[in-house]
Amino acid sequence: MATEIISTTPDPEIVSTRIFNSPQELVYKAWTNPNHLKNWWGPNGFTNTFNEFDFRVGGKWSFIMHGPDKGNYPNECEFIKIEKPSLVAWKRHSKPLFQVVATFEKISDNETQVIFKMLFNSPEECNKLKGFVVNKNEENFDRLEVELEAMK
């Protein structure tokens, strides 16, 4: 069963935003097609093994992120809201626990603004990751730009 997206104040949120020089449908596809998503998801040097990608509300996304130096990081997520081509949200069932809401706003035919929000249950949980995650989200966006160019 799907979970409602938690509403928060800015304190327990990490928000990353970027305008991509790609159409909204293409950006949405890069986020929702596992053959593209696995190529760019995660910080620099990371690779992914997707075990399950059931893209529907209530569907499971199970994957392992492989670090560049060492370490495998299992991730268990559940899709909680999907609005093609403008929004994808999921809840993590593996630690650290948070929800993600990604929106894709058409700026022009070839420009899309992505707003990537990580929503935590408390400011304390958010602050544990904030110093590390903000730069990693930018690396993730850089990798998305490369994938979008390859998709054109």
pLDDT tens-digit profile of 73-107? Answer: 999 999 999 999 999 999 999 999 999 999 999 99
Residue with tokens 């994938």: 147
pTM: 0.92
Instruction: Name which of 110, 130, 105 is nearest 118 in CA terms.
Output: 130
pLDDT of residue 69: 87
In this predicted structure, the answer to whether residue 1 has a pLDDT above a threshold of 60 is no
Mean pLDDT of 41-61: 97
Domains and CATH numbers, the chain: 13-44+84-151 (3.30.530.20)
d(CA 137, CA 50): 20
- Specify the higher pLDDT residue, 7 or 25: 25
Q: Average of pLDDT values for 113-142? A: 95
pLDDT class of 3 with cuts at 50, 70, 90: low
pLDDT at position 5 is: 73
Sheet containing strand 87-92, edge to edge, reads 13-20, 111-119, 99-108, 87-92, 72-83, 60-66, 47-53
Q: Is the pLDDT of residue 6 over 70?
A: no
The Cα 2–Cα 7 span in angstroms is: 15
Q: Which is nearest to 115 in space by CA: 33, 50, 24?
A: 24
